[in-house]
Amino acid sequence: MPQITTDAVDELDDRALTALDRCDSCGAQAYVRVTLASGELLFCAHHGTKFKDKLAGTALGWHDESDRLQDAR
């Protein structure tokens, strides 16, 4: 079984995040979806960065759309 890194696009759920998806930490718009064995977590770009190292060992997938924030300028 290949190892999935936190930089890999989540192949388990590749649907785009929308404005309705909210950060589980602060309620802001979510740009990161972390898939775990027990379910998924949604984070804004700030909290996704904050928790990335902590979740890297247990994450099955890491879907990060935070680059969309750069496109908005």
Two structure tokens written together for 60:
């099955």
Q: Looking at the predicted structure, is the pLDDT value of residue 52 above 70?
A: yes
> Beta strands of 15-60 (E only): which ranges?
32-36, 39-43
Q: Would you say residue 57 has pLDDT above 90?
A: yes
**pTM of this structure:** 0.77
pLDDT in tens, 28-39: 999 999 999 999
d(C-alpha 8, C-alpha 73), whole Å: 26
Per the listing, tokens 């969309």 go with 68
**Number of domains, the chain:** 1
47, 53, 54, 55: CA torsion to nearest 10: 80
Indicate whether 10 pLDDT > 70: no
Domain that holds residue 36: 1-73
